[in-house]
Amino acid sequence: MKILLLEDEFMLARSIRTYLLARGHLVDHYDNGKDVLDIIETTQHDFYLLDINTPIVGGLECLKHITKKYPNAPKIIISAYHDIEYISDAFDIGCSDYLKKPFNLKELDIRLHHLTLQAQQLAVEIPSSDPLIHLSKHYTFNKETSLLYLDGKVQKFTKREYSLLVLFVSNLGQIMTDDSIRSFIWNGEEAESSTIRSLVNRVRMKLNEDLIQNIRGFGYIMAKI
178-208 tens-digit pLDDT = 888 888 888 767 889 899 999 999 999 999 9
- Spatial separation of the C-alpha atoms in residues 153 and 190, rounded to whole Å: 35
Predicted pLDDT at 93: 86
Q: Which of 211, 1, 209 is nearest to 115 (CA)?
A: 1
What is the rounded distance in angstroms from the CA atom of residue 72 to the CA atom of residue 171? Answer: 12
Domain 2-123 fold is Rossmann fold (3.40.50)
pLDDT of residue 112: 86
Q: What is the structure's pLDDT at 126?
A: 46
∠ CA 165-163-175, nearest 5°, is 50
**Residues of the chain above pLDDT 90, percent:** 45
- In this prediction, residue 216 carries a pLDDT of 84
Per-position DSSP letters for 159-216, written without gaps between them: HHHHHHHHHHHHTTTS-B-HHHHHHHHSTT----HHHHHHHHHHHHHH-SS--EEEET
Nearest to 1 by CA among 161, 117, 100: 117
- Give the CATH number of domain 128-222: 1.10.10.10
How are the residues of the chain apportioned to helix, strand and coil, as percentages rounded to the nearest 5?
A: 45, 20, 35
Q: CA-to-CA distance for 132 and 135, rounded, in angstroms? A: 9
What pLDDT, in 10s, does the model give residues 96-152? Answer: 888 888 888 988 988 888 887 777 666 555 455 567 889 999 999 998 888 999 999
What is the domain partition of the chain in residue ranges? 2-123, 128-222
